[in-house]
Amino acid sequence: MKFSYKILLCTIMTMALAFGVSGYLFINYVFQNSMEREVGQAMNESSILQFAFETAALNIPSKYEVLQNGTIEQIGVKLESSGGEGRRLLRLSDENRVPLYASDGFVEATDFLEQIDAKTRIYRVIQRENRYYVQTGAVITSLDRAIYLETMKDVTEVFAERTGGFSVYRRMMIVVLLVSSLIMLLLAHLLTRPIRLLTRATRKMARGDYSYRAKQVSNDEMGQLTKDFNRMANVLEDTIRKLEEEVQAREEFIAAFSHELKTPLTAIIGYADLLRSRKLDEEKGFLSANYIYTEGKRLESMAFRLLDMTVTRHGEVDLQTIDVENLFCYLKELHEADHENDMCFRFDYQSGKVLGEADLLKTVLNNLVDNACKASEAGSEIEILGEKVEGGYRFVVRDHGVGIAPEERKKITQAFYMVDKSRSRSRNGAGLGLALCTEILKLHGSELEIESTVGEGSCIGFRLAEAIDE
């Protein structure tokens, strides 16, 4: 069953119950009041009749100074017809509760008569053949006699009014309920609109449309729910987009990795096959073995770099205070003794202390210097610089080599990406150096800053937080 119908049904049931109970109580209250009035009148009439009887008894001449049964009967007839509107219903009985006179229609049994005593006037409400009466009873003491007086007052009208009231109220209630049901149906439809809009949004999202948002149509709790739902949908969409990007990056990584494996392996297998299948002269044999060695070395360095990257990605660093002097000294010793590259290194740095992990930072700086060497002609100048900047320290490696095109700058930090593949491979590169640097710097809360002009050279650096002396 629809939620709006449930609201409607509950409201109708509550209203019907409320109207029913309050109507019943109200009509009964009016009835009780009318009945009390009728009973009061019946009791008054009984008093008046008692008084009238006593007066009449005193006025009727009697031989024996006692009230004869015949006299009582006469008084009864008189009292019966003395009522203003029509005849009264009354019964007079003697001391032994034997009826002496009864009006026509007063056919009540004498059980009520038994309950009358001399001190109190009593009454009861009775129903006889679809008519209702208030029956009263009292004792009249006159001329040494105790006469029982009973009266009956017709109150059918009051009961008929109550029945009529119920029937009018019932009809009125049905009309009111019908009209209010229509209004409630409209209101329930309006109130449940945010739910319908949310359901539509949920279904759309379940079908894969993550950009769909529910329309907010109110500022109440339902509006808040819609707002929260949309907020959740934003987070979900972001997460899904990130996951998709990650999956794509992983696929690209695997494709690039397989490709990078294939090239050295094809060379290794080809030269090994040549060596085992025929006898080569000494020079060719040496060349083949050399190819196998250099390609094997390339595979080895690739494997190490990949391992470093994986470890870095899943690790955490214990950041310590490092004197930059130590890092620059290390680089000086390493590269000034490196005659293989035949480069002209220039070191220029300010003293300072940074927060980091020394070995990882050496790896980053080594990679940047290696790349600068690879990109430059022999004898070219490589500058390794360090300067204090606001809140930290900046390391920069500047070369005057081939430079990097603007569209390549973002890609070179991806694993296996090489701008000039043959140049990189010839220098033992596999496109993993900057990817590893990026991962290490991420652990330090930093990133690579690349500036470059094609044909003029590059300037690649990064910032670290300054260590504060205690």
Residue numbers of the site for ligand ADP (CB under 6 A)?
367, 371-372, 374-375, 399, 401-404, 412, 417-420, 424, 429-435, 458, 460
Torsions phi, psi for 90 (to 5 deg): -145, 165
Least distance in Å: CB of 240 to ligand ADP?
Answer: 29
Indicate the residue among 4 and 376 with the shorter CB distance to ligand ADP.
Answer: 376
Residue 143 C-alpha from the chain's centroid: 91
Alpha carbon distance 387, 382 (integer Å): 16
Q: Which residues pair with 153 in a beta bridge?
A: 134
Q: How far is the CB of 281 from ligand ADP (least distance, A)?
A: 35
Nearer to ligand ADP, 130 or 422 (CB): 422
Least distance (Å) between residue 412 CB and ligand ADP: 4
C-alpha torsion angle, residues 430, 330, 333, 453 (rounded to 10): 50
Asked if residues 76 and 67 have their Cβ atoms less than 8 Å apart, the reply is no
In the three-class reduction of DSSP (H, G, I as helix; E, B as strand; rest coil), residue 187 is classed as: helix
Task: Read off the DSSP letter of residue 310.
Answer: H
Least separation in angstroms between residue 374's CB and ligand ADP is 6
CB of 432 to ligand ADP, least distance (A): 6
Name every residue whose Cβ is closer than 8 Å to that of residue 327 and which is 6 or more positions away in sequence. Answer: 358, 361, 362, 365, 395
- For residue 309, the minimal CB distance to ligand ADP (Å) is 11
Neighbour count for residue 217 (Cβ, 10 Å): 14
Q: List own/partner pairs for 48-52 with CB under 8 A and 24 or more apart.
A: 49/79, 49/88, 49/90, 49/149, 49/151, 50/138, 50/140, 50/149, 52/79, 52/82
CA–CA separation, 113 vs 102, rounded Å? 13
Task: Give least dist CB 439 to ligand ADP, A.
Answer: 11
C-beta of residue 424 within 8 angstroms of C-beta of residue 431: yes
C-beta closer to ligand ADP: residue 155 or 373: 373
Residue 410 CA, chain-centre distance (Å), reads 41
| Shortest separation between residue 221's beta carbon and ligand ADP, angstroms | 54
Nearest residue (CB) to ligand ADP, 155 versus 384: 384
Q: Between 284 and 427, whose beta carbon lies closer to ligand ADP?
A: 427
- The amino acid at residue 245 is E
Show the tokens assigned to 363: 């790896």
Of the pair 292, 402, the CB lying nearest ligand ADP is at 402
Least Cβ distance, residue 435 to ligand ADP (angstroms): 6
**131 versus 411: smaller Cβ distance to ligand ADP:** 411
Nearer to ligand ADP, 5 or 304 (CB): 304
**Which residues, including other chains, have CB under 8 Å from residue 9's CB and lie 6 or more apart?**
1
Contacts 24+ apart (CB under 8 A), 362-366: 362/327, 362/330, 362/331, 363/308, 363/436, 363/437, 363/440, 364/437, 364/440, 364/441, 364/462, 365/327, 365/331, 365/395, 365/397, 366/331, 366/334
Residues in the chain: 470
Instruction: Please identify, using beta-carbon distances, which residue of 322 and 436 lies nearer to ligand ADP.
Output: 436
Q: Which is nearer to ligand ADP, 76 or 431 (CB)?
A: 431
Phi, psi of 417 (to 5 degrees): -85, 130
Q: Report the nearest approach of ligand ADP to the CB of residue 207 (Å).
A: 41
**C-beta closer to ligand ADP: residue 356 or 429:** 429
Question: What whole-number distance in Å separates Cα of residue 296 and Cα of residue 290?
Answer: 10
Rounded CA-CA distance 249/415 in Å is 9
User: What dihedral do alpha carbons 293, 296, 301, 305 form, nearest 10°?
Assistant: 180
Closer to ligand ADP by CB, 194 or 403: give it: 403
